[in-house]
Chains A and B, each alone.
Chain A
Amino acid sequence: GQNIDQPTEMTATEGAIVQINCTYQTSGFNGLFWYQQHAGEAPTFLSYNVLDGLEEKGRFSSFLSRSKGYSYLLLKELQMKDSASYLCAVRDQDFNKFYFGSGTKLNVKP
């Protein structure tokens, strides 16, 4: 089976750093993805990890440890527009299916 866990909601202050964790237990693994979803909109791709380590893209970084079944998304220099839900998704081993966590709603306060 597939089990992907993330915190339901987090609050952080503008300008700060926030880390959103994701743990997974899946029968197969071929990459972990992070998506951002603003209220009422479609998810948009943020980052992708298939090997262990840190991937950095501007203010956003994502980390993966396959042995621990663990990933995090790090957001630096938070801006009000970063208020959104962040979805963690695991792609299965035959490239065809993605399994999503329930999402973490991030509230950025002034």
Chain B
Amino acid sequence: DVKVTQSSRYLVKRTGEKVFLECVQDMDHENMFWYRQDPGLGLRLIYFSYDVKMKEKGDIPEGYSVSREKKERFSLILESASTNQTSMYLCASHDREYEQYFGPGTRLTVT
């Protein structure tokens, strides 16, 4: 059974804090993605990675960075959290064949 896990389901952080969101997949997939999901806006791609240490910006990379030191792990970093980064964050992986597999999501609240 394929599995994508995320480090936290719910997270509350203060403005200006550095935030790390971790994602791990056990399917040996090359591609991994970070999205945020907001009402009425759907899923928007923040960053994706197609190999270890490789990354590409998605549609809304501002205020975020990523790290992929190992194939199975893809981290999203908010360098200085702001209230407009309050959102649901979804990680996904993909093997270049068919669908993406999503993690359960992290609901981040920045106060």
Give me the interface of A with B, judged by CB distance under 8 Å: 8, 31, 33, 35, 40-45, 48, 87, 89, 95-103
Measured CB to CB, the closest approach of chain B to A97, in angstroms, equals 7
**Chain B binding site: helix, strand, loop or mixed by DSSP?**
strand
Question: If A41-B105, A42-B90, A44-B102 touch, does A87 touch B43 (CB 8 Å cutoff)?
Answer: yes
The answer for the CA separation of A99 and B102 in the assembled complex, in Å, is 14
Residue B48 lies at the interface, judged by CB distance under 8 Å to chain A: yes
By a CB distance below 8 angstroms, the chain A residues around B48 are 96-97
Tell me if B1 counts as interface (CB < 8 A to partner A). Answer: no
B42 near A48: Cβ-Cβ < 8 Å: no
Please report whether the interface of chain A is mostly helix, strand, loop or mixed according to DSSP: loop
CA distance A5 to B58 in the complex (A): 19
Contact between chains at A42 and B104 (CB < 8 Å):
yes
Docked complex Cα distance between A35 and B41 (Å): 16
Shortest Cβ distance from residue B31 to the other chain A in the assembled complex, whole angstroms = 6
Q: Is the CB of B50 within 8 A of A101?
A: no
Partner-A contacts on B (CB < 8 A): 31, 33, 35, 40-45, 48, 50, 56, 58, 90, 94, 96, 98-105
- What's the Cα separation between A2 and B3 when bound, in Å? 29
User: Which residue of chain B lies nearest to A88 when distances are taken between CB atoms in the complex?
Assistant: B42
Shortest CB-to-CB span from B4 to chain A, Å, is 8
19 contacts across the A-B interface (CB closer than 8 A): A31-B98, A35-B99, A40-B105, A41-B104, A42-B103, A42-B105, A45-B100, A45-B101, A48-B98, A89-B43, A95-B96, A96-B94, A97-B45, A97-B48, A97-B58, A98-B94, A99-B45, A100-B42, A102-B42
In the bound complex, residues from chain B placing their C-beta under 8 Å from that of A100 are 35, 42-44
Docked pose: A43 CA to B91 CA in angstroms? 11
With both chains docked as a complex, state the minimum distance between the C-beta of A64 and any C-beta of chain B, in angstroms.
15
In the assembled complex, the Cα of A11 lies from the Cα of B56 at a distance in Å of 39
Pick from B42, B44, B50, B90: contact of A96, CB under 8 Å: B50
Q: Specify which of B31, B44, B58, B99 is in contact with A33 (CB 8 Å cutoff).
A: B99
Inter-chain contact B105/A103, CB cutoff 8 Å = no
Return the chain A residue nearest B104 by Cβ: A42
